[in-house]
Amino acid sequence: MSLIVQKFGGTSVGSVEKIQHAATRVIQEIQNGHQVVVVVSAMGKTTDDLIRLAAGITDSPNKRDMDMLLTTGEQMTISLLSMALQSKGCSSVSMTGWQAGIQTEAVHSKARITHIETARMKEELEKGKVVVVAGFQGMDENFEITTLGRGGSDTTAVALASALSAQRCDIFTDVDGVYTSDPRFIKGARKLEGISYDEMLELANLGAGVLHPRAVEYAKNHSLPLTVRSSIEEIEGTLIEEESKLEENLVVRGVAFEGDIVRMTVYGLENEVTGISAIFSVLADNHINVDIIIQSRTELNSTNLSFSIKEAELEETRSALLQNKERLGFSKIEHEAGLAKVSIVGSGMVSNPGVAAQMFEVLAEQEIAIKMISTSEIKVSTVVEMDKMIPAAQAVHDSFSLASLQPKPQLTN
Ligand code: ASP
Ligand code: MG
């Protein structure tokens, strides 16, 4: 008998009605003759509410207590979904992460799964039960409760699917799949039938919130096919697999964008050899995430360094650098705020030269200045002014013909 893992995100279990509906989606697969393991997130905004509760008590909650608190969110959902299944005549058992055998590193708030002891789940599945598992949580070697980082229920689902050799892992969410770009802002953005792990990983890291990057990484490492689909409508979602045979014609598969970027420039670095590493060590020690980095030499033979950061980290970055000015040996720092990153992603870039050139050309035609550029084999990112972000993304989306070629067929009767 084949096994399917289904995962329902927070919005898909956000109310009693939605939990009832999720239960019917589970029962459909049982009726199709599958065994089912269901992974759920906390209902709606429960995790945010719990974080707010803690913040009402202290600015610096103990991480162990925080994990203890946040894992209660998922625990509510497993019990309610299990009740819903049983009230519809479907036999089920709810399990916390630790009852399901999910072992993690001994790290609070962002642990990685190290091993899954599947015996108990298998036993329950053999009895004909649906196993309902709390996402986002596990236990370390010392029986301490841990969590996997925000959005971590996706990772629970993928890890269980791989440990149980599931035939598929379906991620049910409030969008019906992975889109070529954000349809709320980009005209003609449409759902992709398929996308590769690597492309999805780039998009997830570029801020497409639809999947937890670690879940995609896990699926890739275990060659597990993933689908992202709507919990509301019964339509095909997006299939994520090694190499997408679907939509093979697309060189660029997605356009991602994100605002509130700052370009920081360090002028006149005295020591080109040790200066650069010293600067990035200071930033790393202060947990500042640096994205694009550009180093340049001026005519006067001094070294300048520019890098992009999130606007929220601007003050911290400035003070970390200025406090260490003597030791780091630079003449001054300057920053430009109000910037945004617009990126294109597609595996086809590897074998199709000229993709970056086309992107730059389109931006030039729109008279959009490019402040920074970074590339990987399957990605080109540009930094532009914030108010040019959407026009830039739209122009690029149009230029690579990502928009739906035909309108959706209308049902008439
Ligand atoms: N409930 C957790 C969160 O909100 C985990 C998840 O939903 O995946 O981040
Ligand atoms: Mg999520």
Q: Over the stretch 300-324, which tens digit does the pLDDT of each residue have?
A: 778 999 999 999 999 999 999 999 9
Mutate to test the pocket of ligand 1, among 45, 75, 136, 155 (most ligand atoms within 8 A of CB): 136
Among 140, 157, 174, give the residue marking a domain's end: 174
C-alpha distance from residue 377 to each of 83, 200, 352 (Å): 48, 14, 11
* Alpha-carbon gap, residue 313 to 195, rounded angstroms: 32
Mutate to test the pocket of ligand 1, among 11, 78, 153 (most ligand atoms within 8 A of CB): 153
**Protein residue with its CA nearest to atom 6 in ligand 1:** 151
Among 152, 174, 196, give the residue marking a domain's end: 174
Q: What is the DSSP string of 221-236?
A: HTT--EEEEESSS---
Q: Within this chain, do residues 157 and 17 fall inside the same structural domain, yes or no? A: yes
* Alpha-carbon gap, residue 186 to 194, rounded angstroms: 19
Q: Within this chain, do residues 131 and 9 fall inside the same structural domain, yes or no? A: yes
In terms of DSSP bridges, do strands 168-173 and 3-8 run parallel, antiparallel, or are they unpaired?
A: parallel
DSSP for residue 27:
H
- As a whole number, the mean pLDDT across the chain is 93
**Protein residue with its CA nearest to atom 9 in ligand 1:** 150
pLDDT in tens, 190-209: 999 999 999 999 998 887 77
In single-letter form, the type of residue at position 194 comes to: G
Residue span of the structural domain in which 50 resides: 3-174
Q: Pocket residues for ligand 1 (CB within 6 Å)?
A: 10, 41-42, 47, 73, 135-136, 150-153
Residues facing residue 269 across a β-bridge: 303
Q: How far is the CA of 210 from the centre of ligand 2 (A)?
A: 6
Q: How far is the CA of 58 from the centre of ligand 2 (A)?
A: 26
* Alpha-carbon gap, residue 306 to 30, rounded angstroms: 56
In terms of DSSP bridges, do strands 137-139 and 145-147 run parallel, antiparallel, or are they unpaired?
A: antiparallel
In single-letter form, the type of residue at position 47 comes to: T
Q: Which atom of ligand 1 is nearest to the CA of 153?
A: 8
> Hey, how many other C-beta atoms are within 10 angstroms of the C-beta on 293?
14
Q: Within this chain, do residues 160 and 14 fall inside the same structural domain, yes or no? A: yes
pLDDT in tens, 309-363: 999 999 999 999 999 999 999 999 999 999 999 999 999 898 888 999 999 999 9
- The whole-number average pLDDT for the span 395-411 is 74
Q: What is the number of structural domains in the chain?
A: 2
Q: Within this chain, do residues 143 and 262 fall inside the same structural domain, yes or no? A: no
pLDDT value, residue 405:
57
Q: How far is the CA of 285 from the centre of ligand 2 (A)?
A: 29
User: Is pLDDT at 138 greater than 50 in this prediction?
Assistant: yes
Whether 134 and 97 have beta carbons less than 8 Å apart is answered as: yes
Q: How far is the CA of 324 from the centre of ligand 2 (A)?
A: 39
Q: Within this chain, do residues 162 and 14 fall inside the same structural domain, yes or no? A: yes
pLDDT in tens, 231-286: 888 889 999 998 877 776 788 999 999 999 999 999 999 888 888 999 999 999 99
At 401 the three-state DSSP class reads coil
Q: How far is the CA of 137 from the centre of ligand 1 (A)?
A: 10
- Residue 74 forms part of a structural domain: yes
Q: Which ligand is nearest to the CA of 171?
A: 2
**pLDDT confidence band for 411 (50 / 70 / 90):** low
Q: How far is the CA of 192 from the centre of ligand 1 (A)?
A: 25
**pLDDT confidence band for 404 (50 / 70 / 90):** low
Q: Reading across the β-sheet that carries 168-173, which strands appear in turn?
A: 92-95, 130-134, 35-40, 3-8, 168-173, 226-230, 238-241, 194-196
Q: Within this chain, do residues 393 and 274 fall inside the same structural domain, yes or no? A: yes
* Alpha-carbon gap, residue 31 to 23, rounded angstroms: 12
Residues facing residue 91 across a β-bridge: none
pLDDT value, residue 409:
47
E strand or H helix at 160: helix 153-163
Q: Within this chain, do residues 155 and 260 fall inside the same structural domain, yes or no? A: no
Residue 274, domain CATH: 3.30.2130.10
pLDDT value, residue 406:
44
At 369 the three-state DSSP class reads coil
| Among 292, 285, 236, 234, residue whose Cα is nearest residue 263 | 292
Q: Which atom of ligand 1 is nearest to the CA of 10?
A: 7
Share of the chain above pLDDT 90, in %: 84
Among 115, 143, 174, give the residue marking a domain's end: 174
Cα distance from N-terminal residue to C-terminal residue, the chain: 39
Q: Within this chain, do residues 170 and 287 fall inside the same structural domain, yes or no? A: no
Q: Which ligand is nearest to the CA of 76?
A: 1
Between vectors from CA 212 to CA 198 and to CA 62, what angle results, nearest 5°?
Answer: 140
| Among 391, 400, 387, 389, residue whose Cα is nearest residue 257 | 389
pLDDT value, residue 407:
46
pLDDT in tens, 212-243: 889 999 999 999 999 999 988 888 999 999 88
